[in-house]
Amino acid sequence: MDFRFTPEQDLYRQSIRQWLEANLEPRARAIDEAEDGIPTDITDGMAELGMFGVTIPERFGGLDIPDEERMVYAMITIHEIARADMSMSTPVYTLLTIGWAYIINKYGTEQLKELVLP
């Protein structure tokens, strides 16, 4: 079994790493010390890059990636966020692995998915 990233996974990793290094990492300490939550411009940027949609199919607003690779992309996302700001990786980990969108996508009926997912 080959455990290396596919070219598509590596491109995703590189693109989010570049954004996180430019936008989150320089502000990480100030964000953590302010204890005022995650700034909207950071969450908006992460959402625009698809970081919150890796576990959701494209038809519901997620990324166009193979279903069997969704958790790989989630772990890439969490790892890269942790590189930039360790404390921010925990809520994103929770969102991507046990958050309501993940659970509904994995276990919900089609009707529930259509009603609830973005």
Q: In which band, very low, low, confident or very high, does the pLDDT at 37 lie, cut at 50, 70 and 90?
A: confident
Q: Is the residue at 112 inside a domain? A: yes
Q: Is the residue at 35 inside a domain? A: yes
Q: Is the residue at 81 inside a domain? A: yes
Share of the chain above pLDDT 90, in %: 87
Which pair of tokens denotes residue 108? 């919900």
24 by DSSP, 3-state: which?
A: coil
What CATH number did the domain enclosing 14 receive? 1.10.540.10
Q: Is the residue at 2 inside a domain? A: no
- Total structural domains within the chain: 1
Q: Which residue's structure tokens are 């954004």? A: 19
Its domain, for residue 41, covers: 7-116
Model confidence over 62-103: pLDDT tens digits? 999 999 999 999 999 999 999 999 999 999 999 999 999 899
Q: Looking at residues 38-44, what average pLDDT do you find?
A: 94
Share of the chain above pLDDT 70, in %: 99
In this prediction the pTM is 0.90
Q: How far apart are the first and last CA of the chain?
A: 35
